[in-house]
Structure 1
Amino acid sequence: MRAEISSGKHAKRHPLDWYVDEIWCARQLALALDEFALEREEGLAIWDPCCGMGNTLQAAWELGFPTFGSDLVDNFAWANFPGDFEGLVQPAFRSADFLGQTAAPAPCSIVCNPPYSYVKGIAEAFARHALTLSSRRVAILMPSKWLASQARYQLFTDHPPQAVLHLCQRPSMPPGDMIAAMGRRAFSGGMTDYCWIIWDVKRPTAPGQTRTLWLPPLHRNSEILSLEEVL
């Protein structure tokens, strides 16, 4: 049994689109962004406004960044962020509806795996709102098919992404409330293609200038190209 965001009937999906991304998705993003070099240079935090268990935040936390998580429901896996781990400070968490937030918790880049469809158009709403609150970059993890849609045409026309990073290894995205029951099957291999869509709010991308990169299978992580080097 597999229950991913792009499979199964709507009635069988998590009511708030809580699907748990594997940590390596954000780790590959961090490698492509030179371990968030721009954020480090500018003293920025990383905020995930739909953080779920916190997996997306973990890549930034491991690199020593101040991290903030928020979500409608507190499902944060605090055990994965021990306060005594190499002196790192635990992420700050608050229960909040991202679309109702008028300011970021600190100057930051926003990195998230947003809700996909439990409310029509919610993923696009998240992207647009993140662009108004981020101090530097916005990176959202979405099914690749989300790129090809009449509904997204206006978003990408208004705000051309800086880059699209395609994950060449498919991640598993099990519903968070089913992981314990699914056991090893929860992360036994994905069925859906995903990509990171990235905007730099300080350096808006001109129409037609979006770059496309392919992030390799995990055993070839050393081949990941730096986004800054190819721009």
Structure 2
Amino acid sequence: MARGEVSTGRKRNSHPQDWCVDQSWVAWQLYVALGGFAQERAAGEAIWDPCAGSGRTMVTFAEDGFRVFCSDIVNRIDPALFAGLSLPSFFHADFLEAARAPAPCSIVGNPPYSYIEGIAEAFVRRALQLATRRVCMVMPIKWQGSQVRFDLFDQDFPPQAVLVLTQRPSMPPGDMIPMLEAVGKAFKGGVVDYAWFVWNVQQPTARHQTRIIWLPPLDRPELQLPVEGLA
């Protein structure tokens, strides 16, 4: 496969529970685009990743002093990612059975997408019920083009924005990373296009008003700025 990438979505390359490890800049670009989550900070709200994996998505928030919660069906948090920081509060949970959030929060994560039919949409719908302010989920761009999800996107909960990662991230299965690191191919550039899907549960977006925004490549630092109307 091109450039050593294994996050193609093909079942033979997938983790059985869709544990894929995104690069830290993926969450960082979301963080910048949403103005450092200033709304959540002003309200004293936490950030919760209910599909935490190793915890990489939460590093940016922990570094900037947010109260961070992580949960998953298996504890795979990597303490090395939080060197010099307080480890996030972790609890075991099947997110689809969660009755409440651990605190007033926005929900940010890289959800499972295929090992159970419809699980990604189920995660989004549950997050929209539990989040205090925003829901941000990173998914393959092709996820938005689906007859099955028409009601989610058009009728029930139109996203506030789709933030396209113009630089493709690498998201290898977590259990393959040690082997890939040994040969220098853990994060060698992606072959799948991704985007952040963002909902503001406090200010629901009207039908046909979803914004599509292209986030700049990492080698364009002068363009890494908050997005007007989202920050």
Q: TM-score, normalised by structure 2?
A: 0.94
Alignment-mate amino acid for residue 59 of structure 1: T
Residues 1:168 and 2:169 are matched in the alignment:
no
Give 1:78-157 correspondences, 5 Å limit.
78-82=79-83, 85=84, 88-157=85-154
Which structure has more RCO (C-alpha within 8 Å, separation ≥ 6)? 2
Unaligned runs of 5+ in 2: none
Question: How far apart, in 2, do the equivalents of 1:230 and 1:59 lie?
Answer: 18
Match for residue 227 of structure 2?
227
Distance 1:230 1:118, change over 3 A: closer
Question: How far apart, in 2, do the equivalents of 1:222 and 1:61 lie?
Answer: 24
* Structure 1 residue 79: Cα displacement: 1.7
Question: How far apart, in 2, do the equivalents of 1:131 and 1:20 lie?
Answer: 23
* Structure 1 residue 59: Cα displacement: 1.2
**Contact 2:136/2:198 (CA < 8 Å) preserved in 1?**
yes
Instruction: Say which SS state the counterpart of residue 187 (structure 1) adopts.
Output: coil
Alpha-carbon displacement from aligned partner over 1:70-95 (angstroms, at most 9, x marks no partner): 0111110112113xx3xx43210011
Alpha-carbon displacement from aligned partner over 1:119-152 (angstroms, at most 9, x marks no partner): 0000000000000000000000000000101011
Question: How far apart, in 2, do the equivalents of 1:171 and 1:222 lie?
Answer: 20
Unaligned runs of 5+ in 1: none
* Structure 1 residue 230: Cα displacement: 6.7
**Contact 1:28/1:221 (CA < 8 Å) preserved in 2?**
no
**Contact 1:67/1:91 (CA < 8 Å) preserved in 2?**
yes
Alpha-carbon displacement from aligned partner over 1:200-221 (angstroms, at most 9, x marks no partner): 0000000111111111111113
Match for residue 31 of structure 1?
32
Question: How far apart, in 1, do the equivalents of 2:122 and 2:159 lie?
Answer: 15
* Structure 1 residue 5: Cα displacement: 4.4
Alignment-mate amino acid for residue 132 of structure 1: Q
**Contact 1:66/1:89 (CA < 8 Å) preserved in 2?**
no
What percentage of residue pairs aligned between the two structures are identical?
A: 53
Residues 1:209 and 2:212 are matched in the alignment:
no
Question: How far apart, in 2, do the equivalents of 1:212 and 1:63 lie?
Answer: 27
Aligned length: 225
Alignment-mate amino acid for residue 201 of structure 2: V
Instruction: Say which SS state the counterpart of residue 149 (structure 2) adopts.
Output: helix
**Contact 1:50/1:70 (CA < 8 Å) preserved in 2?**
yes
Supply the RMSD in Å over aligned alpha carbons. 1.4
* Structure 1 residue 186: Cα displacement: 1.2
Match for residue 3 of structure 1?
6
Q: TM-score, normalised by structure 1?
A: 0.94
